[in-house]
Chain A
């Protein structure tokens, strides 16, 4: 078992900086997701931990031991590739046995452990199949089983679920969580799917353009995004971000959204506290689609908007609105009886609003 510490880790490919001075501590037995869009450096980070890529700068420590010069085969790291990299010329049995055979374990023990893993992964009746004949779902199970069988201290998974169909993906998510509890390994999980990250991980490291944006529990990352990138990336549909400016309205601090309207901060202490830490008048206001309310009554409490599109998706309805040229989305629980073209008022949720500095994108007033 091992913790992983990445210390000012950088990787440059020519002029491109894939990972930029990354600082990350992954505690022992934790499930950490590296989350970010394509090209954010998450896979490169993973490859450096595994030893497939050599860092340009910085250090990687397993349990405070620098592993810079340890070859990948001796790092005791299990790695599940995005495309599984199953040995197609071997049977499922031979695939599962590979890691044990190269360690020259006794035949009987290999056989016992392969059968154990096969039954755990529900691959019993596939053992003597050539792996080239397996379905994608089965390949996935072989890939995980093949790495798990050697009981590595650290388990790295590179977008392992991205090729699966939706139903099996949901099933594997649960399965992976079970596996981690069973093996008690440190797991690092690369994904661009924030739902996967939210549901699986103990901690999420959000990355963009090689830079770590935020590192924290799923709840923290979701509820207290450190900047507009994280705010925008987490959640589906993503957080509504509206440029605004700080003003005073009859002696009361307020946010001005131009022609759309004004938001008085008198009744929202949390927002007011965030507002007070602002350095510049130009800000970005954020609120989650789930939290916002729509009213058709003509009071002054909200911001004016026009319904442009209503998207019923199963249990929810996502209402698209045009607010002074910007599109915002609001998610409502059930069917939402409102027509396209209706003029409505949008009411931000009290106590659940975010405020960011417009220039740096950094969140204001975080503890």
Chain B
């Protein structure tokens, strides 16, 4: 399988000796059409990136009163990077962010999958419920954050509800509790982003050919077997896309946290994005932030690459010329 992927990749990249005139024309046109975009990209991606690399190797900051061009006067080579590895607060924020990803994304995935299974069939009121279900996704995250900020107040509706149900006086201080604060944030994230999962997975599920499901039924498969043996395998690609998309998005979580807890209590809910924000605007450690940002870029690129390889493998299996393991 890996071999197949590798050769396919080589084909795509290397200029094949047998490029037909038609293909050559297409390539030329493609190049010219994308030239403006490529130049723009060069300016907004490559230049800032190089600048970031440069700054990350110095102690330059806004308080120096110097243009960034002269940052080399405080050149320190890799001091910032060294500091980064010893920065407990940095690793702590990464750990918390990963925790949020690892808890939220699978829950959103499972809820989304369940809802998609429900909505793939027709039932009365399907359209209305569909619209209602998609609403959270449309709400500006800051507004959603504010909504949950109010919900989770110790005198808020949630505690009130619990009190009424249990008959006891429930007064959790959700957002100021060391452990509950992050749970509150997770609940808000799940509430807001399950609809996206649902939407993507429903689209994938709609794409499962009806006749194959019928065939499976007539071959004696029950609903569970149909789901497991037909629907899930057919949705593999969509699932990977949904999971990668949400994992990357969730890793960048900022707005909900910023509104709900500002990373508190203490740094109990500080995500990596929030930490970088604080370093930039409160501590003004710009060169350190540059180093941190680069590190994150590399780490996330590696993660995305792993995801892409997995996806390509799945695709290669689907397109293998005949051969595939039973």
Q: Which residues of A contact B (CB under 8 A)?
A: 50-52, 71-74, 77-79, 81, 83, 85-91, 93-94, 98-99, 101-103, 127-130, 132-133, 146-147, 150
Contacts and interface: CB of A to CB of B under 8 A. Distances in A.
Contacts of A103: 220
B311 to A, nearest CB: 15
B320 interface: yes
Given A85-B212, A89-B234, A99 B220 contact: yes
A130 B324 contact: yes
Contacts, number: 81
A52 B214 contact: yes
Interface stretch (B115-123, B225-233, B248-256): B225-233
Contact of B326 (A94, A102, A133, A150): A94
Contacts of B230: 87
Contacts of B218: 50-52, 72-73, 77-79, 147
Given A83-B211, A85-B214, A128 B324 contact: yes
Contacts of B318: 89, 130, 132
B104 to A, nearest CB: 29
Interface residues of B, number: 25
B214 A93 contact: no
A147 B230 CA distance: 17
A11 to B, nearest CB: 17
B217 A133 contact: no
Contact of A87 (B216, B323, B325): B216
B74 interface: no
B323 A102 contact: no
13 contacts: A51-B218, A73-B221, A79-B214, A81-B214, A83-B211, A85-B214, A89-B233, A101-B229, A102-B220, A128-B326, A130-B318, A130-B320, A147-B219
Contact of A98 (B211, B219, B320): B219
Interface in B281-320: 318, 320
Contacts of B324: 91, 128-130
Contacts of A90: 233
Contacts of A74: 220
B321 interface: yes
B163 interface: no
B211 A93 contact: no
A85 B209 contact: yes
B21 interface: no
A147 B229 CA distance: 17
A77 B229 CA distance: 20
A129 B217 contact: no
Interface in B182-239: 209, 211-212, 214-222, 225, 229-230, 233-234
A74 B223 CA distance: 12
B221 A98 contact: yes
Nearest to B212: A85
A85 B215 contact: yes
Contact of A72 (B212, B217, B320): B217
Contacts of B217: 52, 71-73
B322 interface: yes
* Minimum-distance CB pairs A-B, first 5: A85-B215, A85-B211, A99-B219, A79-B218, A102-B221
Given A85-B212, A87-B212, A130 B322 contact: yes
Given A128-B324, A147-B219, A150-B220, A102 B229 contact: yes
A102 B322 contact: no
B215 A87 contact: yes
Contact of A73 (B222, B234, B321): B222
Contacts of A89: 233-234, 318
